[in-house]
Chain A
Amino acid sequence: DPLLQRNKYQNARCILNSGETKNLPGREEQLEELKQFFREHLENKRSGSLYVSGQPGTGKTACLSLLLHSSEFSLSLQRIYINCTSIASIGGVYKKLSSELKLKPQGRAEHDYMASIQYHIQNSKKMLLIVLDEIDQLCNTKQSILYTIFEWPSLPNARLLLVGIANSLDLTERTLTRLSARCDLKPKHMHFPPYTKQQIVNILKSRLEEADVLDIFPPLAIELLAARVSAVSGDVRRALDIGRRVVEMAEQQKKAGDKEMNLQKLTTEAVGNLENLCKDNSVTLKPVQVTHVAAVLNKVYGASQNLHEDIEQSFPLQQKIMLCSLMLMLRNQRNRDITIGRLHEIYRRVCNKRNIHSLDQAEFVGLVDLVQTRGILHIIKKKEPRLSKVQLSWDEEEVTAALCDKQLIASILDDTTCLSK
């Protein structure tokens, strides 16, 4: 059995994937509310619409796909799930819907599909549940399609439950203002709040318990992780990602440790002890340490600060000088509109003073572009490259920390004579 040979790190890594799951701790309330909504409408044979909103990674799709696959509603409901990003164009949603419903429209125009869907809604025996995921993709200037779809539940004899999922809290109020004029048209709104710290802790714990590897994550580590993620976004995908990274990190460290151990043992002892070694490996698995979690969290959330470790050895010199000249200009000039041509002029003077060969303007534009990929700068493109504007998008302190060359920076920033000529 391959699963037995795998160690706990691997199992933990596997179980922390951000795929679909069956149990959703932390979303019991919402699930119950959704079920209640469905049940109510099923009993009364009344149609209704629902709009589900929430930040990415708060489990909206997971909840609804759980209900779509549950046996409770399978008999009494015909269920359709459509992800609106997978349709060709906005109008293509009708075609997709009718093909999901296995309808045979008269023609192949958009309105033919729409007519056939409406006919089906009004004449079907079963209740129909349509879930439209990422419904904000259907927005256009007139919102004609969203209006048409949200008007379906109020068609005479319609028995339709419509659920729209999107990220923004006020999509229905903002873009579908006309719906609020009629109370029966207005969809019920349900918000999925970002996960709290305790909820993330529960999710991680339940996942780890599923694979029986709870012991490799000490509670303190989980708490730290959950506190940080819930404070920033409450996105459970993030939390799972970080958890996985932590396990990967611990695993790599263990591998490195094993290699050293093996080498030591091989050098000191005879070859016969290999079996012992294998046993050792399977028995002792250190739990993840808090330092691991802190390291990963810092790497993820402290983006610009800890990039420096990597940057310091390999920040090309000309890029450094360019950044310094930009800072020099920003510091000493009141006018913050800096074009590439102006920056190039100052940069050349700075280079000349330091006896460094300066780049041509054509090369310089490429150089500025390279620095932009690091996110330090932002270039506002204009018709001519010389007229494009350069903006510093990092703090000056961050840049000085990133450059790791205090002498150069200090000498250039003192050199205000380069500016005036």
Chain B
Amino acid sequence: ATTRIGTPKRSIHMSNVVEELVFDKREILSTPTLKSKKSLIFNKEEEDIEKILQRVTPKKPAEKTPKRGRRSNSNYLKDSETPKTPKTPKTPSQKLKMLRSGELTPSFKEREKIDQSKSTKNILQLARECLHVSAVPLSLPCREKEFENIYTFLEDKIKDQCGGCMYISGVPGTGKTATVTGVIRALQKQVQEEALPTFDYLEINGMRLTEPRQAYVHIYRQLTGKTVTWEHAHTLLEKRFTTTSPRRMTTVLLVDELDILCNRRQDVVYNLLDWPTKTTARLVVITIANTMDLPERLLMSKVTSRLGLTRLTFQPYSHKQLQEIVTTRLSGSEAFKSEAIQLVARKVAAVSGDARRALDICRRATEIADSSKDKEICVNLLHVQQALSEMIASAKVQAIKNCSRLEQILLQAIAAEVARTGIEETFFMGVYAQLENIAHYSGGVLIPTIGQVLRLCSKLGAQRLIICEHSRNDIFQKILLNVSMDDIHYALKVTSDATT
């Protein structure tokens, strides 16, 4: 038996040695040439890039850039009119180049099956579709005042042909971005009817950027369709916004999640807000963030000064507004009982006033109603109640109930230790002493060793029922309860009642 085990081991070892040898040899033989080649290639590429850059950035910007911009625009238009099939890239680098220049548009693989037609769906399914968060209605209910405010601001700026900034704040799910995009849609409609001069619309989202400076890349890509490095994009944008050109259109830039763009230097935010102050730029920046006092709290004073005082706050929805939002979404469908909607609206409005939350709960309620297989296809109060308890439920009591007996005793011991010392932070030693006592009294339970209790501790810590340090600290580790003491008493009392 020993020989059997022994031989394969040796062979593996041998092969390892051989491989190592070969690897070493190759490395020794070829490293210098490889390195030099690599560096050569790199230099070449860099030179190429430099050449391209030089070609792209002409030395006389004032004369040439607008021309080029117009030409590229016209090219773009032509492309959209007669969609040519771009030649298929042969090598990966060619593909990358085409992607960066915007010749290849990224596409998804389409589904082979055709989607279910609308007629086969029942009321609940249709309601679920209407209630989906992504199905933004054309006109947002309960945000007419804010819509009007933003609309007049943008309309004035476009008509006046000057730049400006606006700061919009509000807690999540209060319809900030939806309202702004709705305003833009309305303005674009006006442009089509030729009641308003044309304008460019760009948008960036701070959360979609890996780094604040990537904002330049995104803005430039939306303007021209090309992907360049951020430094290059920044110089090109600066050139665009600081030089005069007679045919400059107004540009509306929506900056979502502004607080993500703030770093220590705040150069990106500064630039984004400084360009509108240039008369040549004709840039209107609309910034959105959650915090009401972000400019005062986070931004430098010179940035705040540029941000200006045109501000708008979106208040959280009240229960009446939430009710109206849900009912307009359902638009006459009888999938919901009105009191069910009201319950959802009141529960959500009491916590956050987040419309997304209300819609999510409603959708969950339709799912519950769908699976309950009732004869009447309608969401009633019970379904909503269940959905609410699922989504605003505390799972902690359940978790304590489902702990093993020893874990429960440990939790009790921690609670007892906290009650004894009056300090929230307890040491393992004290807890263990308490645990011994409780185990004695409860009877029939063997007192576990310290090692076992440490294991229980780390298990409860992983469940986040308690907060504990690394168990290398042994009996000196600090333990904190992550659930309230009332929860422990409640859970354990109820179970003990049930068992007896």
Q: Which residues of A contact B (CB under 8 A)?
A: 10, 13-14, 17-20, 55-57, 83, 85-86, 88, 134, 137, 167, 235, 237-238, 241-242, 245, 248, 252, 300, 303, 307, 310-311, 313-319, 341-342, 344-345, 348, 359-363, 366-367, 370, 372-375, 384, 386-387
Are the CB atoms of A317 and B315 closer together than 8 Å?
no
Inter-chain contacts of A314 with B (CB < 8 A) = 315-318, 349, 353
Given contacts A300-B309, A341-B484, 8 further A-B contacts (CB under 8 A): A56-B301, A237-B305, A316-B350, A341-B482, A360-B392, A360-B394, A362-B394, A367-B351
- Asked if residues B484 and A316 are in contact (CB atoms below 8 Å), the reply is no
- Interchain CA distance A373-B162 in the complex, whole Å: 31
- Complex alpha-carbon distance, A31 and B49, angstroms: 44
Contact B349 A167 (CB under 8 A): no
> Which residue on B lies nearest to A88, using beta carbons?
B231
**B163-189 interface mask toward A, CB cutoff 8 Å, 1 = contact, 0 = none?**
110000101100000000000000000
How many angstroms between the C-alpha atoms of A362 and B292 in the bound complex? 23
B residues sitting closer than 8 Å to A (CB atoms) are: 152, 156, 159-160, 162-164, 169, 171-172, 231, 234, 238, 265, 267, 270-271, 274, 277-279, 290-293, 297, 301-302, 304-306, 308-310, 313, 315-318, 349-353, 392-396, 424, 467, 480, 482-484, 486
Q: How far is the CA of A248 from the CA of B166 in the complex (A)?
A: 14
* CB nearest to A2 among chain B residues: B159
The residues of A that contact B482 with a CB separation of less than 8 Å are 341, 361, 384, 386
| Cβ-closest chain A residue relative to B316 | A314
Cβ contact of A348, chosen from B317, B396, B486, cutoff 8 A: B486
Q: Is the CB of B265 within 8 A of A137?
A: yes
Task: State in angstroms the CA–CA spacing of A19 and B162 once bound together.
Answer: 9
Please, how many angstroms separate the alpha-carbon atoms of A245 and B297 in the complex? 23
A375 touches B292 (CB 8 A): yes
Q: Do A241 and B318 touch (CB < 8 A)?
A: no
Q: Are B162 and A17 in contact (CB under 8 A)?
A: yes
A contact residues around B163 at 8 Å (CB):
17, 19
Q: Would you give the shortest CB distance from B262 to chain A, in whole angstroms?
A: 13
- B156 contacts A17, C-beta separation under 8 Å: no
Q: For residue B305, which residues in chain A have a CB less than 8 angstroms away from its CB?
A: 56-57, 235, 237-238
Total of A-B residue pairs, C-beta within 8 Å? 140
- Let me know if A311 and B231 touch, CB within 8 A: no
Contacts of A238 in B (CB 8 A): 305, 309
User: What are the 10 A-B residue pairs with the smallest beta carbon separation, nearest first?
Assistant: A360-B394, A56-B305, A375-B293, A19-B279, A56-B302, A317-B350, A85-B267, A241-B309, A314-B315, A373-B291
Give chain B residues whose Cβ lies under 8 Å from the Cβ of A56.
301-302, 304-306
CB-CB nearest in chain B for A9: B156
CA gap between A384 and B350 in the complex, in Å: 26
- The residues of A that contact B480 with a CB separation of less than 8 Å are 384, 386-387
Most B CB contacts (10 A, CB to CB) among A20, A237, A248 go to A237
Task: Assess whether A366 is in contact with B352, with CB atoms less than 8 Å apart.
Answer: yes
Give the distance to chain A from B275, nearest Cβ to Cβ, in Å. Answer: 10
Interchain CA distance A366-B351 in the complex, whole Å? 10
Q: Is there contact, CB below 8 Å, between A245 and B310?
A: yes
Known: A86-B271, A316-B353, A370-B352. A237 touches B306 (CB 8 A): yes
Q: Is the CB of A360 within 8 A of B162?
A: no
Closest to A233 in B: B305
Are A167 and B302 within 8 A (Cβ)?
yes
Task: Give Cα A316–Cα B322 distance, bound, in whole angstroms.
Answer: 12
Interchain CA distance A248-B393 in the complex, whole Å: 48
Report the minimum CB–CB distance from B216 to chain A (whole Å).
10
8 Å CB contact of B351 from A88, A362, A363 = A363
Q: List 29 A-B contacts (CB under 8 A).
A: A17-B162, A17-B163, A19-B162, A19-B163, A56-B302, A56-B305, A57-B305, A85-B267, A85-B270, A85-B271, A85-B274, A86-B271, A88-B231, A235-B305, A303-B293, A307-B313, A313-B315, A314-B316, A314-B318, A314-B349, A316-B349, A317-B349, A361-B394, A370-B352, A373-B169, A373-B290, A374-B293, A375-B293, A387-B467
Contact between B297 and A375, CB atoms less than 8 A apart: yes
Inter-chain contact A310/B279, CB cutoff 8 Å: no
Give the residues in chain B near A386, CB-CB below 8 Å: 467, 480, 482
Chain A's closest residue to B290 (CB) is: A373
How far apart are the CA atoms of A55 and B292 in the complex, in Å?
Answer: 24
Candidates B277, B291, B316; contact of A375 at CB < 8 Å? B291
B231 to chain A, nearest CB (A): 5
Instruction: Say which residue of B152, B234, B267, B306 sits within 8 Å of A252 (CB atoms).
Output: B152
